[in-house]
Amino acid sequence: MSFSRLVRFISTDGNTYYGDAILKAGIIDARKATHAWIISGNIFGHYLVTDQQKPIKKLLAPLSWDQIHTVRFLGLNYAKHALEIKLPKPKYPILFFKPVTSIVGPTDPIPVPKFAQIDNETDYECELVIVIGKEAKNITEAEALDYVLGYAVGNDVSQRSWQIKKGGGQWSLGKMLDGWAPFGPAIVSSKIIKDPQNLQISTKINGKIVQSENTSDQIFGVAKTISFLSQGTTLLPGDLIWTGTPAGVGMGRTPQYWLKHGDIVEIELENVGTIQNEVVYEKDIKAKL
């Protein structure tokens, strides 16, 4: 039996497990699960969803750093987002990367070090996250979804002054920081989400909706993105592809809105669930990974 909603969690015995979240009827958000069926084996190969349950004490990022090879991000991939920041739609996907140390869990704090406090221009970006399930190279758009293990939701935290004004034309300095890619709360199987191009995605800051869109507004859909990125490059099991953010980012608002110490950022994706992270300035916070 394959998993429905893959979670990685610390249980009450202090150990870390992979599991399939046990949810009540009508609930889809793994953050509301109190227990999970334990998974044994390799989630990218042969594994077994056992009949053993464990209580969930804390949800972690669905994958650990050593399971992730490459973390890819698309920029300007929603039509309305390109319009709000007054840039033309890209002809080809705009690609950048973050290190695995940016990955943290669905409830971990977003640490903002002094480096990122220059100009106080830290921004939020809700994103659909693709998890690659098997090696893919030179694949067609028609077969691309067969290579997806599942989907999650994430926040591509960005510091705009380093990204745009001081990065020398590339974006990494404003996006690469530790803890700046929280995601989860689970990896929802592609058998559940069969059409990733018709999902509502949104962001709330302190309970107020600031982004709300459908993934149908993506310029390069999931299948096209996977196919394009696989041309001449092998996508590996565990690779993450973040598919861009819709309109409503702080940079594009009037007046502009930047994340502040203590802000609570909630990012939700239909049929996946919600991550909720607090913005914390000037603290060295190490998430358990």
**pLDDT above 70 for 259:** yes
Question: Which pLDDT does position 67 carry in this prediction?
Answer: 97
Q: Which of 59, 78, 93 is the last residue of a domain?
A: 59
Question: Which pLDDT does position 170 carry in this prediction?
Answer: 75
Domain count, the chain: 2
Q: How many CA atoms lie within 13 A of 81 on its CB side?
A: 29
The per-residue pLDDT for range 7-44, each reduced to its tens digit, is 999 999 999 999 999 999 999 999 999 999 999 999 99
Does residue 268 lie in a domain region?
yes
Q: Based on the domain organization, do 52 and 70 belong to the same domain?
A: no
Domain with 27, as residue range(s), is 5-59
Does residue 87 lie in a domain region?
yes
Question: Which pLDDT does position 282 carry in this prediction?
Answer: 75
Question: Which pLDDT does position 115 carry in this prediction?
Answer: 87
The per-residue pLDDT for range 177-205, each reduced to its tens digit, is 999 999 999 999 999 999 999 999 999 99
Q: Based on the domain organization, do 206 and 165 belong to the same domain?
A: yes
Q: Based on the domain organization, do 166 and 180 belong to the same domain?
A: yes
Q: Based on the domain organization, do 44 and 88 belong to the same domain?
A: no
Q: Which residues pair with 151 in a beta bridge?
A: 130, 188
Question: Which pLDDT does position 286 carry in this prediction?
Answer: 55
Q: Which of 30, 59, 88 is the last residue of a domain?
A: 59
Better pLDDT: 284 or 8: 8
Q: Based on the domain organization, do 54 and 102 belong to the same domain?
A: no
Q: Based on the domain organization, do 205 and 154 belong to the same domain?
A: yes
